[in-house]
Amino acid sequence: MKKTLAIALALVMVLALSVTAFAAEEPYKVGICQLVPHVALDAATEGFQDALKEILGEDAVEFDYQNAANDPATCATIANAFVSEGVDLIMANATPALQAAAAATADIPVLGTSVTEYGVALGIEDFDGTVGTNVSGTSDLAPLDQQAAMIQEWYPDAEKIGLVYCSNEANSQYQVDTVQAFLEEMGYTATQYAFSDSNDMAAVVQTAADESDVLYIPTDNTAASNTGIVDNICHGKIPVFCGEEGICAGCGVATLSISYYDLGYATGEMAAKILTGEEDITETPIGYAATFTPKYNEAICADLGVTPPEGYEAIVVEDAAE
């Protein structure tokens, strides 16, 4: 009887150890909420996933990718579902996704990417670079004074600059406000033209084009998803300067570019440290792109008859040979 009991206890211990080992080997669950599919955000998501797979192992992370189709309300639904599922971390790609995830949980780590200014996005006054809660991430903010200076470099004789953006994107408002101040310091007349969504975008862009010498579009997700609307109105007629390369490739003359893949990769590196306990998200400062490259759209420059200043690189359009 004692021998039988000892064998049974041994079996129970082996089974318990097996269950513990299995649990330890379970992959981390990471929910990804991306606001909308477009080149920049897609690249950031790809970089994020690649980083985690390379650092933790191909099978160490289980991704649940969800796209909100440019609807902030859907971002909230996705974020709440991630919380209900008990994911280990949420990656929020773009400002509305970050806002939704931050509102959905105060416990699960939330990392943003492709977010321009976290203080604006989260309503933090005198933001010092660290959120201090369960939220951190990376910013796609390029130096806005340098973006304004690009317009002066290319078109010093222009007078009226139209700033075109989506009024429902808080970080777009922040960018145009900042760029407007720089442009006005340079002596330009800068006017804001806000559209609410893609439905009124064409009418607003047309008005801006009619009333301006040059247009500027910040890192705006709605604009990035609808560059064709801008190009149909402006191509060969009025130059458009852009906050990021994806928009510039679709409708712009020039931009100060960052790599969204690298930005997403840096976010993935943060995630790896937070998931493994190497880093505390409450103490993790927002990360910023390390390099910015001035780039131009070769085809649009040719149609406008302008030559890029020295030091600009041509944007490589992937489907150019198709």
Residue with tokens 């203080």: 119
Question: pLDDT digit string (tens) for 99-109?
Answer: 999 999 999 99
Report the amino acid identity of residue 128. D
Same fold, 9-140+260-288 and 144-257+292-314: yes
Cβ atoms of residues 30 and 271 within 8 Å = yes
Chosen CATH of 144-257+292-314 out of 3.10.180.10, 3.10.580.10, 3.40.50.2300, 3.30.450.20: 3.40.50.2300
Bridge pairing between strands 254-257 and 293-296: antiparallel
Q: What is the mean pLDDT of the chain?
A: 91
Question: pLDDT digit string (tens) for 10-58?
Answer: 544 544 444 333 344 799 999 999 999 999 999 999 999 999 999 999 9
Which contiguous run of DSSP H or E holds residue 122? helix 118-122
The contacts of residue 293 (CB under 8 Å, 6+ apart) are: 256, 257, 258, 313
pLDDT band of residue 318 (cuts 50, 70, 90) is low
Write the Ramachandran bin of 86: left for phi over 0, alpha for psi from -120 to 50, otherwise beta. Answer: left
Cα atoms in the 13 Å half-sphere on the side-chain side of 111: 33
Residue 24: per-residue pLDDT = 46
Q: Where are the domains positioned within the chain? A: 9-140+260-288, 144-257+292-314
Q: Which numeric CATH code is attached to 9-140+260-288?
A: 3.40.50.2300
Residue 166: per-residue pLDDT = 96
Q: Which backbone phi and psi does 76 adopt, to 5 degrees?
A: -65, -40
Q: Which backbone phi and psi does 238 adopt, to 5 degrees?
A: -145, 135
Query: 310 is written with which tokens?
Result: 């020295």
Instruction: Give the mean model confidence (pLDDT) for residues 198-211.
Output: 97
Distance between start and end Cα atoms, the chain? 79
Q: Does 274 have pLDDT greater than 80? A: yes
Write the Ramachandran bin of 203: left for phi over 0, alpha for psi from -120 to 50, otherwise beta. Answer: alpha
Residue 320: per-residue pLDDT = 39
Higher local confidence (pLDDT), 61 or 17? 61
